[in-house]
Amino acid sequence: MAKDKEPVPVDPEHEKLEGKGLLTGDLEMGRWLFAQPCDFLRGATSIENLPPVSAPEICFAGRSNVGKSSLVNALTGRNTLARTSNTPGRTQELNFFTLGPKGYPALTLVDLPGYGYARETRSRVEQWTKLVMAYLRGRVALQRVLVLIDSRHGLKDSDHEVMKLLDETAVSFQVVLTKIDKLKASEVDARVEDVRMGVRRHVAAHPTVLATSSEKGDGIAELRAEIALLADREAFRYKTQSE
């Protein structure tokens, strides 16, 4: 569909997209994909009970309480799909969701337990960390890890540790800032730049850092578009058929 690849016309949206390499058609694909059915597939507590691969996978990683589950909900427009909480350590399983037209999964979204949370017992933290690391290291279907960073706090040692593991295992990742509604608008660009510079030395890092707010919706359309670029293109045949 050549029409989908036309450059973004000059309008307020253009400025937001500039430098992100996204086109209006990408935004439309993202919008369409995330309006498709999204179903909970499985919660896995061990590497042995991961579901079989049914589509390319994208996972949401990050420190506890950074907003992983909230972002899954914001992207899919469903408030209660992934369970969120004020209490860090809410997500304790690898939660798999399939996304795509009925019967044609285009993508699997994986909401991971958080890392770097100290209040749980040491053995539980170690258990989750081991599970998350094993998943990140060994899942062949994993197309990209979204590493979420709280925009108020920036990069922490535990983030660098995970990014190092992703470098070593050659799993590409992209940093997504969360909760930008908590910053003044004037502070957001500086924080994006900070973090962009901070992840530059990681060879597996995607060069673009996205800034989002699950609460207010900022950056959600752009993130949908980025993710849709990684989905199984076959599923998009159903888009053209349904138009």
Binding site for ligand GTP (CB under 6 A): 62, 64-70, 84-86, 88-91, 113-114, 178-179, 181-182, 213-215
Nearest-angstrom CA–CA distance, 101 and 162: 33
Question: Least distance from C-beta 214 to Mg ion, angstroms?
Answer: 11
Q: How near is the Cβ of 214 to ligand GTP at its closest, in Å? A: 4
Stretch 79-108 residues interacting with Mg ion (CB under 5 A)? 90-91
As measured in angstroms, the least distance from the Cβ of 176 to ligand GTP is: 11
Q: Which does 66 bind (CB under 5 to 8 A by kind): ligand GTP, Mg ion, none?
A: ligand GTP
Measuring CA to CA, which residue among 35, 140, 123, 142 is closest to residue 78?
35
Q: Considering CB under 5 A, how many residues would be counted as binding Mg ion?
A: 4
**Closest approach of ligand GTP to the CB of residue 87, in Å:** 7
- Are 116 and 156 in contact, with CB atoms under 8 Å apart? yes
Contacts of 156 (CB under 8 A, 6+ apart): 63, 116
Q: Does 69 bind Mg ion (CB under 5 A)?
A: yes
* Comparison of 188 and 235: residue with beta carbon closer to ligand GTP: 188
**β strands within the chain, DSSP E:** 38-44, 57-62, 94-99, 107-111, 142-150, 173-178, 210-211
Backbone angles phi, psi at 220, to 5 degrees: -70, -40
* CB-based contact 181:213 (threshold 8 Å): yes
| Binding range to Mg ion, per CB under 5 A, among 38-46, 60-68, 151-159, 180-188 | 60-68
The residue at minimum Cβ distance from ligand GTP is 114
Question: Cβ atoms within 10 A of the Cβ of 68, count?
Answer: 29
- Closer CB to Mg ion, 87 or 197, in the complex: 87
CA distance 198 to 242: 43
From ligand GTP, Mg ion, none, interface partner of 46 (C-beta below 5 to 8 A by class): none
Closest separation between CB of residue 242 and ligand GTP, Å?
Answer: 31
Chain contacts with Mg ion (rule: CB under 5 A): 68-69, 90-91
